Amino acid sequence: MDIHEYQAKELLKRFGVNVPRGGIAYSPEQAVYRSHELSGGKCVVKAQIHSGARGKAGGVRICSTDDEIADAASWMLGRKLVTHQTGPAGKLVSRLYIEEATDIAQEIYLAFVMDRTEERVVVVASAQGGMEIEDISESEPDSIIRSVVDPAVGMQAFQAREIAFQLDLDPALIAQATKTIIGCYRLMEEMDASMVEVNPLVVTSAGEIVALDAKLSFDDNALFRRPEISEFRDKSQEDARETYAEDRGLNYIGLEGEIGCIVNGAGLAMATLDMIKMAGGEPANFLDVGGGASPDRVLMSFKAVLNDPNVEAILVNIFAGINRCDWIAEGVIRAVQELDLSIPLVVRLSGTNVEEGRALINDSGLDITTADTLAAAAEKVVGAWKSGRSQNGEAV
d(CA 111, CA 213): 12
Q: Are residues 245 and 387 in the same domain?
A: yes
Say whether pLDDT at 392 is over 80: no
Whether residue 213 is annotated as binding a ligand: the answer is yes
d(CA 14, CA 100): 19
Position 379 scores a pLDDT of 96
Tell me, yes or no, whether 251 lies in a domain. yes
Q: Mind giving me the DSSP string for 260-326? A: EEEESSHHHHHHHHHHHHHTT--B-EEEE--TT--HHHHHHHHHHHHTSTT--EEEEEEEESSS-HH
Edge-to-edge strands of the sheet including 22-25? 22-25, 96-100, 43-47, 60-63
Tell me, yes or no, whether 10 lies in a domain. no
Q: How confident is the model at residue 393 (pLDDT cuts 50, 70, 90)?
A: low
Whether residue 71 is annotated as binding a ligand: the answer is no
Q: Please tell me which residue in 6, 97, 109, 185 is annotated as part of the active site.
A: 109
Percent of the chain with pLDDT over 90: 79
Q: Are residues 222 and 306 in the same domain?
A: no
- Among 39, 66, 101, where does a domain finish? 101
Domain that residue 76 falls in: 20-101
Pairing type for strands 369-371 and 345-351 reads parallel
Percent of the chain with pLDDT over 70: 98
In Å, what is the CA distance from 115 to each residue of 102, 154, 166, 267?
33, 15, 21, 22
Q: Are residues 193 and 286 in the same domain?
A: no
Give the tens place of pLDDT for each residue, 168-183: 899 999 999 999 999 9
Q: Are residues 108 and 84 in the same domain?
A: no
- Among 206, 238, 270, where does a domain finish? 238
Tell me, yes or no, whether 13 lies in a domain. no
Q: Please tell me which residue in 197, 258, 312, 330 is annotated as part of the active site.
A: 197
Q: Are residues 386 and 246 in the same domain?
A: yes
Please give the model's pTM, rounded to 2 decimal places.
0.80
Position 111 scores a pLDDT of 95
In the chain, DSSP assigns E strands to 22-25, 43-47, 60-63, 80-81, 91-92, 96-100, 104-115, 120-126, 144-149, 193-204, 209-211, 214-218, 251-254, 259-263, 285-288, 313-320, 345-351, 369-371
Whether residue 99 is annotated as binding a ligand: the answer is yes
Give the tens place of pLDDT for each residue, 305-353: 999 999 999 999 999 888 899 999 999 999 999 999 999 999 999 999 9
Whether residue 251 is annotated as binding a ligand: the answer is no
Q: Which of 70-79, 122-131, 351-360, 366-375 has the lowest mean pLDDT?
A: 122-131
Position 84 scores a pLDDT of 85
Tell me, yes or no, whether 3 lies in a domain. no
- Among 223, 238, 253, where does a domain finish? 238
For residue 309, cis peptide bond before it (omega within 30 degrees of 0): no
Q: Are residues 381 and 251 in the same domain?
A: yes
Number of structural domains found in the chain:
3
Report the run of H or E that residue 10 belongs to, with start and end.
Answer: helix 5-14
- Please say if 185 is a catalytic residue: no
Q: Are 198 and 113 in contact (CB under 8 A)?
A: no
- Listed residue (381, 390, 307, 296) closest to 344, CA to CA: 381
Q: Which of 24-28, 34-38, 320-324, 370-374 has the lowest mean pLDDT?
A: 320-324
- Listed residue (49, 40, 104, 113) closest to 76, CA to CA: 49
d(CA 35, CA 334): 57
CATH number for the domain including 167? 3.30.470.20
Position 157 scores a pLDDT of 95
Whether residue 150 is annotated as binding a ligand: the answer is no
Give the tens place of pLDDT for each residue, 38-90: 987 899 999 999 998 898 899 999 999 999 999 999 999 999 999 988 888 89
- Segment 271-287 mean pLDDT: 96
Give the tens place of pLDDT for each residue, 215-254: 999 998 899 999 999 999 998 888 888 888 888 888 999 9
Tell me, yes or no, whether 157 lies in a domain. yes
Q: Are residues 334 and 365 in the same domain?
A: yes
Mean pLDDT of all residues belonging to the chain:
92
Q: Are 61 and 72 in contact (CB under 8 A)?
A: yes
Q: Are residues 384 and 322 in the same domain?
A: yes
- Please say if 197 is a catalytic residue: yes
Give the tens place of pLDDT for each residue, 160-219: 999 999 998 999 999 999 999 999 999 999 999 999 999 999 999 999 999 999 999 999
